[in-house]
Amino acid sequence: MLLKNKKIKWGILAPGHIAKKFAHDLKAVKDATLYAVASRDLNRAEEFKEEFGAKKAYGNYMDLITDPKVDAIYIATPHTFHKTYTIDCLKNKKAVLCEKPLALNSADVALMIQTAKNEEVLLMEALWTYFLPHYQYVLNFLKEGHYGAVKSLEADFGFYPEFNASSRLFNKQLGGGSLLDIGIYPIFAALSILGVPDTINASCTYFETGADSSCDMVFGYKNRAEAKLSSTLLKKTNTEAVILCEKGTVHIQTQFHKPTSVVFTDANGNRKTKNFEVATHGYNYEAAHFNDLLHKGKTESPIMTFKFSQQLMETMDKVKEVIGLSYYE
């Protein structure tokens, strides 16, 4: 699908909290426009349309998926439905930016990727942190070896929402729980900085709904590097990432998954803080990258690759196996 020099018409499937941030930031992408939004509740879709200036509002998802004027669709449903609607979109030749996690397990991710390849349509997991300026800067800094090899990583993500058994966040049938919702960020940090772990140790606690309330993980590597990771819905944490290298420390400050500042401390104790302030929430960076891929006729991102999405979910599957968490009981 080559859309060179064309303004990309976006559709949003499921207008929830994250979708609102995405729609707001899409306005900052010069070659993008929000064309349509779909919800299972037409009134909700109409309200979203008015708030963000879309042209169309649909009361069901298939009307959006089959709209011939839509070029790309951002999927923001609960995790459980990512696979189904992604495949529906791809088979209708719609490019898909699907919220993380791409699916509930690696087998589903593999099926989604294979469908994208078969249909020759762009698919990308919307793990927005990967595209943020501060995170790309840190990855390049580490790659260039300014502080030598990475010895350890500590990363956490925690907040304290009011418990509601019917809420998506606490509903196991919707893929709720800390691991899939926010634990993916520390795990992403480990994979993008240290790679796939050789060993995984983990423990967790559970809500009465069966969804995990917290998860502590330790990833081990053959080069003796280590990643200590945690996610929790029981308390607010600093949500930082601290990377210890041979010749210094890189500290991605709160909240590391969002646009933030980074403190660099060398072996002599010299500190330098670099700020990465942005005028948006930060979702425009992944959208701009996605648009660029469409303009170039690409069907896979060179940053958020199919291989990385597969490795990310395979790693999460291993964590789930260690802690005894399954979504198909």
Tens digit of each residue's pLDDT (9 = 90 or more) over 76-100: 999 999 999 999 999 999 999 999 9
What is the structure's pLDDT at 4? 64
Domain edges within the chain: 8-127, 133-277
Omega before residue 255 within 30° of 0, cis = yes
Enter the CATH code of domain 133-277.
3.30.360.10
Q: Are strands 241-245 and 150-158 parallel, antiparallel or unpaired?
A: antiparallel
What is the structure's pLDDT at 6? 83
Fold of the 8-127 domain: Rossmann fold (3.40.50)
Amino acid, res. 314: E
What is the structure's pLDDT at 1? 57
Nearest one of 143, 317, 108 to 245, comparing CA atoms: 143
What is the structure's pLDDT at 327? 84
Amino acid, res. 88: D
What is the structure's pLDDT at 40? 96
What is the structure's pLDDT at 277? 87
Low-confidence ranges of the chain (pLDDT < 70): 1-5, 328-329
